[in-house]
Amino acid sequence: MFSSLYPVTFILSLAALTGWFYCRDNEQRSRFLSKIFFGSFVAFGACWLFAQGQLSYKFPVLLRELVILGLVPVVLSIFRKSKWVYFSLLIVTLVALRSLYFGKLESTFPQRTATEVTSTAPANALDPQGELLIEIKDRHRVSEIQAVLEKHSLTATPAFSLKDADATDLDDYFLIDVPDGKDLTEVKKALDATGLVEWVEENEQVVLSPMEAVPMQPAPRLNKKYGLNDPGLDNLWGFEEMKVADLYEVLKNRKPKKTALIAILDTGVDAGHEDLKANFTSTQSKYDTDKAGHGTHCAGIAAAVSNNGVGVASFSQTNDFVRVTSIKVLSDGGMGTQQSIINGILEAADRGADVVSLSLGGLSSDSRQRAYQKAIGYANRKGAIVVVAAGNSNRNARDFVPANVEGVITVSAVDTLLNRASFSNTIPDVKMGVAAPGVKIYSSIPGSLYATFNGTSMATPYVSGLVGLLKSLKPALTTKEAYDLLNSTGAETKSTRETGKLILPAAAVKKLVN
């Protein structure tokens, strides 16, 4: 209620104050308008006070509104002796406020967060630069179907890049660019009729929904519960639910056997962020920026530098258990394809990633999992554990890839009351599903800033960070072993069947090392 009344009470206060200034020589009208102003301003103040939002967000908002309330009547009153000029300016001001500012007022409260950070592109949206992925049968070459390619004006290029071609047959996959206007069903039939094509699947697009957040910079202080001085710890409600203080006790005086590498496959990562750079390893310089902010937020959740007096903290209290890297599989606008994501998985595996973190995905069908399945298998054989988001569509994750691909750990999101988050997909029909906090998650964003987002995208790097920690203690840990640890030591949620168990890092580490 307070959020919806906020713009109304502001406009009414502004109108009454402007009228009061104009009519100040008329005692009766002035008294009437002053009463309207004070009444509406009190209501406006109540709306501001009780609206949803943190004070660090609400005070700048209030200052913004007070400046407008003060300036408009004062400036207009300069022209009050000329009625024509005054009312002309008043009309222009009101029109400008209505078109340029009223929308901002309407969206001021509640404090905006990203309510859904991953989604599919529109139904059947395929990459216009390569609509199909095909697998050529063993001991055959793409040149053998050249006649069919030419007949339908198709272009075929190798789909995937990888170092160890002997470990998979993904090197037999080609990207097929289908000209505009061509019937896709007809093209598939023609390729199938050659008898040389093992598999055809669509190269679907995946997009990130727009993200909105408000940067916050709390003052540094020692948090006695965790023994850290990261000021953002007060915003990490999930640390309490996941008993991270207990984890730090378990890890005290314990050294990792290796520093595990977590690869964030996303929109890139701001490698120079104040709370990431000391834990960041560059894969390629072109991956080390992030205009969208999504990848940087995920990286902070998985591997922020702890106890450095800025930002937030991660599960690695002493910063020697995990490092993080970036592989950009989504554009600056947040768009990717099945091909770009799979290539990212392969690159992460080839570069020695211990954990591959995928806070992305989209709707698909069972018949479209084959290339993903082969990529996950390749990563597993290279020693990587793949962790993926369940998705944000309030549906069953079995219909989403790569959430439903065999061999991944799928992550649902829970809210502050440990209910399944309203947007989170459910995981009862995937083989390895767990839960992590995914609502009001505070983490890094580009420019050494911080913000709060919602999504299974945020829950996923919590699990990736924990799996990285486990891999640092037992480098040979497999996906199945990691899942069994998380599941057997996890806590019940309010809807465990839909979410899986909430990860408890301390319990998982204790069971691993004992």
Contacts with 477 (C-beta within 8 Å, 6 or more apart), sequence order: 385, 470, 471, 512
Q: Which of 340, 424, 448, 457 is catalytic?
A: 457
C-alpha to C-alpha distances, 380 to 263, 333, 375, 462, 466, nearest whole angstrom: 14, 30, 9, 20, 17
Distance CA 474, CA 467 (A): 10
Q: Which long-range contacts (CB under 8 A, 24 or more apart) does 101-106 make?
A: 101/68, 102/7, 102/11, 105/6, 105/7, 105/10, 105/11, 106/7
166 is catalytic: no
Distance CA 445, CA 451 (A): 6
3-state secondary structure of 318: coil
Residue matched to tokens 């272009």? 155
Helix count and strand count (H, E) for the chain: 16, 17
- Bridge partner residues of 134 (DSSP): 174, 200
Q: Which of 127, 172, 230, 266 is catalytic?
A: 266
Cβ 273 vs Cβ 304: under 8 Å: no
Cβ 437 vs Cβ 243: under 8 Å: no
Q: Which of 290, 294, 354, 359 is catalytic?
A: 294
Quick count: other Cβ atoms within 10 Å of Cβ 196? 16
294 is catalytic: yes
For the sheet with 260-266, list strands across it: 322-328, 260-266, 355-358, 385-389, 409-414, 433-437
- Bridge partner residues of 120 (DSSP): 206
Task: Look at the alpha carbons of 250, 252, 255, 260 in this order and tell me if their dihedral is positive or negative.
Answer: positive
Angle between helices 55-77 and 83-100 (to 10 degrees): 160
Cβ 470 vs Cβ 257: under 8 Å: no
HSE-CB of 176 using CA atoms within 13 angstroms: 28
Q: Which of 248, 214, 218 minimizes the C-alpha distance to 231?
A: 218
Distance CA 170, CA 379 (A): 12
Residue matched to tokens 């965790």? 226
Residue matched to tokens 């991953």? 118
Tokens of 440: 């009001």
152 is catalytic: no
Catalytic residue IDs: 266, 294, 457
